[in-house]
Amino acid sequence: MDVIAEHGNILLILAVAFGFFMAWGVGANDVANAMGTSVGSKAITIKQAILIAMVFEFAGAYLAGGEVTATIRKGIIDPDLLGQTPELLVYGMMASLLAAAIWLLVATAMGWPVSTTHTIVGAIVGFASVGISVDAVNWGKVGEIVSSWVVSPVMAGTLSFILYMSVRRFIFAAEDPYVAAKRFVPGYILLVGFVISMVTMVKGLKHVGLDIPFKEAILYSIGVSIIIMFIGIAALTRIKRITDSEQHSLVYVEKVFAVLMIFTACAMAFAHGSNDVANAIGPLAAINGIIESGGAVAQESAMPVWILLLGGSGIVAGLALYGYKVIMTIGSKITELTPSSGFAAELAAATTVVIASAYSLPVSTTHTLVGGVLGVGLARGISALNLRVVGTIFVSWMVTLPAGAILSIIFFYMFKAIFGVSA
């Protein structure tokens, strides 16, 4: 306990700096993923994407980021093994934050969309297995996370392929796309309303005392989606055909999907802020809890408001200052996106998140969105994909866990050497 008593304030100041740095990386890389399809399809500009994300990501992080959070990330470490040496957990969490933040900075600079969840998990596994004990790691949980590399992009890709092919079949291939859009778009609005409601209820509100059971959430979401559909139908009836030309009809259809994309982007930003901010502030809350209690290690720690504010501010700063790099990769370098194809990719990603939540599968929003974009690219033929970019992204995913682990081990021993271990 001597180390915590002697160096507690310095350790907390360093942890706050690393936590903000990590939140900045989440904003620059992960939030950019959620906005990439909207910007790439030209549904919104980069400035508009940043403004939307700033509002909804911050709202999600601050309002639904959690009064209490499981700070030992996703049950990866057994905290009972650290009861006698709490400073090792503090060093490990600090090392994990710094390692993950540096890897996210490198990945963002290269324009690679990587998973912030996998980055922090890799970092925690690294320091825990080498610095404490191999038995301290829940390897079953790590195996689930690794399996999501395949499950989430494949599921999202399949859904986006089906969605985009349905849009092409029922609307763009119709004799009159304008009339077809009037007939079929309400169905897509219903689907958007349902998925947005599910994402918000299942992923966005569980930390504010509204832990709605999945089956209940389905019923509420059906009601909300029907209301949204009737509002959408009313809005569509007000849009009149200017000319009978097919070109104008196609432009009209794309404009409708551009509007739908704004709704999906807002919902994904809110859900992302409420969940992925934990990657940055979860370890910080663990460190704060240990230092405040004088060295007691707990599975859960109270989440002070200042930590939520720090996480939300870091996410917004990262997106505003450096988010454009990954936005361009997702939005234009994998395949060319239109509002209708971008809509299919984003809705498929959101649907995958909902399905995964139902079965408690750990999925990455990054992987689902990339999978969604690949799906709509494949719908136009494999030649529509930039396979070199796709290959680079897959390699960056495989490198993420070991990169986080190696950096974390280095920093863990560095902090241990600087501050020492209690006698």
pLDDT, tens only, 130-169: 888 888 788 887 887 777 778 889 999 999 999 999 999 9
CB 102 within 8 A of CB 240: no
CB 131 within 8 A of CB 409: yes
Contacts of 76 (CB under 8 A, 6+ apart): 121, 124, 125, 128, 137, 138, 141, 142
pLDDT in the model for residue 162: 95
Number of domains in the chain: 1
CB 229 within 8 A of CB 193: yes
For the segment 202-208, the average pLDDT, to the nearest whole number, is: 60
Instruction: Provide the 3-class DSSP secondary structure of residue 325.
Output: helix
pLDDT tens digits, residue range 57-114? Answer: 888 777 765 543 454 445 677 766 766 778 888 899 999 999 999 999 999 999 999 9
pLDDT in the model for residue 17: 96
pLDDT in the model for residue 287: 87
User: The whole model's pTM is what?
Assistant: 0.85
- As a whole number of angstroms, the distance between CA 349 and CA 105 comes to 24
5-19, 47-61, 195-209: which has the minimum mean pLDDT? 195-209
Asked if pLDDT for residue 422 goes beyond 80, the answer is no
pLDDT in the model for residue 360: 65
- Bridge partners (DSSP) of residue 301 are 69
- As a whole number of angstroms, the distance between CA 405 and CA 95 comes to 10
pLDDT in the model for residue 68: 38
Domain assignment of residue 350, given as a range: 2-419
Instruction: Provide the 3-class DSSP secondary structure of residue 363.
Output: coil
Structure tokens at 17: 């700096």
Asked if pLDDT for residue 119 goes beyond 70, the answer is yes
26-40, 51-65, 203-217: which has the minimum mean pLDDT? 203-217
For the segment 251-263, the average pLDDT, to the nearest whole number, is: 83
pLDDT in the model for residue 73: 46
Q: Where are the alpha helices (DSSP H) in 79-213?
A: 86-109, 116-127, 139-167, 177-199
- Bigger pLDDT: 244 vs 250: 250
Determine how many CB atoms are found less than 10 A away from the CB of residue 183.
Answer: 12
CA 350 from chain centre, in angstroms, equals 10
Residue 362 banded pLDDT, cuts 50, 70, 90:
low
pLDDT in the model for residue 72: 45
